[in-house]
Amino acid sequence: MPSIWRKYLGNTRGHFAVQFALLGLPLVVATTFVTDYSKAETEKVNVKSALDAAVVAAVNNNSLSLPQKEAYARTHFIENYDGKIDFELTPKAENNRVEMSAFGVSPVSVAETLGINGIELFEKSAAVQTSENVICALSLATDKADAITFKGNSTFTAPTCSVHANSISPDAMRVVGNAQARAKNFCAVGGGRGLFQPYVKSDCAVVDDPYKYVQAPEAGPCKVEANIRDIRAEILAAEEQIDSAASALLARFGGNPADGAGTAQWLASLFENVTGSNRTLQPGTYCGGLTVDGRNVRFAPGNHIILGGPLVFKNGAQAIGEDVTFVMKGLPSVLRIESGANVNIKAPSTGELAGLAFFQDVQRELGVEGIFPNGENLLSSGGSLNVTGTVYFPTQSVKVVSDSVFGAEAPATSFVAYDLSFAGNADIRVAVDHQEAGLPPIMPRTEDGARLVE
């Protein structure tokens, strides 16, 4: 027996199998735990991404109250997280800030045999609103090529704001020729071409019209002032004599004298209200348009409604207006600032039209839906042109053509139009410091008008 026992103890064959059997379970547990941990790390990335998207979306939605923003962040997370872990969400919204944390347990497999119930995951994101990152040039056209263009030898500079085109065209935004375009960022839903600084982004979200629910004031009686030469009124005052003279001429040359009737009305339709130098124009309704052809013309604070005709600044006109909104009613009501004019307009800081320097009343044009653009506004300058506030023509074109410097002295300017074109041979400078301008925050904000801070 002693010799048999010694032989048994000295025989090492089969020991590995025994040792492997004893160590097998821990090895399997360790191996599966590595796999479980890798899955948990992937879930952490997915959770963080969904949290980031949720807080950015919530902080950017200014139509919601703080409790609604918390609920919106929670809903947005659930919609964007496609994992299988049930997370406990804790959102918190404050002024210009939304944060949310997520706590959950990633399941394990074999590791449960060692008393490990799961891998705890905790992630947190927070975003703040960047009110300075606003859109200062927005095209509302949905499928137009060249919705925003930069042409000629012009230099467009907007270092504090964004340029955005809603068009799905791959050429929604373009830089043509020797033009230069610099802004905080450029984004076109469909895409763009040309040299942008920084490069134009695509596949961005459509930006809604920020003023589509703003109601324009109703037009009042046609304004007649002693300091406005109403040529139409002068013609109509002599209507009988003009029609009589026209009938006499027609009869002399063999025409039908009756055709002379209405000549005065036809002539009157060709003329606009014209104001000369050293005038102060009061708020009211200017029927048939208004032409500023003189120096030292001042617009008193209030709403100046331009009804059924253009607003024109020409022949080196010099005009200034503070706390003024020009309300453009009717398709013929477009803005024309001709080269050489010196125009300085500042929008009001309070009221229904706060921040709006030029406002197209679209409600009067619902009968022409689908015909876009249905007007062209031309802002040219060989002198100086400074608009503090928003130029709003949602169904019309706006063309800015500068041969000198446009907007250099205006602390806050923005354009919202059907389509936009910037051209000329000089600097077009746009800024959006609404605090310096004393205006409400310029709208709208860009889709990335918020930044993550956690």
- Looking at the domain assignment, is residue 50 inside a domain? yes
Residue at token pair 């806050």: 412
Q: Out of 169-178, 202-211, 223-232, which region has the weakest mean confidence (pLDDT)?
A: 223-232
Q: Which two tokens stand for residue 294?
A: 């003189």
- Domain-embedded: residue 241: no
Is there a single domain that holds both residue 388 and residue 445?
yes
Report the greatest alpha carbon distance in the chain: 155
Are 385 and 291 part of one and the same domain? yes
- Does residue 277 lie within any of the structural domains? no
Q: Is the pLDDT of residue 26 over 80?
A: no
The domain total for the chain is 2
The tens digit of pLDDT for each residue in 61-111 reads 766 788 998 999 999 888 888 887 888 889 999 888 899 998 988 876 654
Q: What is the pLDDT of residue 100?
A: 92
251 in a structural domain: no
Domain boundary, last residue among 129, 163, 181: 129
Lowest-confidence segment of 346-350, 369-373, 415-419 by average pLDDT: 369-373
Confidence (pLDDT) at 116 = 61
State whether 139 and 118 are in the same domain: no
Residues 370 and 435 in one domain: yes
Assess whether 432 and 408 both reside in one domain. yes
Sheet hosting strand 450-452, strand order edge to edge: 88-94, 97-106, 119-129, 450-452
- 3-state secondary structure string across 108-138: CCHHHHHCCCCEEEEEEEEEEECCCCEEEEE
Q: Are residues 294 and 311 in the same domain?
A: yes
Do residue 198 and residue 301 come from a single domain? yes
Together in a domain, 294 and 397: yes
**Residue pair 189/166 in contact by the 8 Å Cβ criterion:** yes
Structure confidence at residue 225 (pLDDT) = 58
pLDDT at 365: 54
Pick the last residue of a domain from 101, 129, 157.
Answer: 129
Q: Please report whether residue 265 resides in a domain.
A: no
Q: Are residues 41 and 161 part of one domain?
A: no
Shared domain for 370 and 333, answered yes or no, is: yes
**pLDDT band for position 224 (50/70/90)?**
low
Phi, psi of 110, rounded to the nearest 5 degrees: -70, -25
The torsion angles phi and psi of 117, rounded to 5 degrees, stand at -85, -15
Residue 364, pLDDT score: 54
Q: Are residues 288 and 139 in the same domain?
A: yes
In terms of average pLDDT, the best of 118-132, 146-160, 224-238 is 146-160
Task: Judge whether residue 23 has pLDDT over 50.
Answer: no
Quote the domain boundaries for residue 372. 134-223+282-452
Regarding whether 54 and 124 lie in a shared domain, the answer is: yes
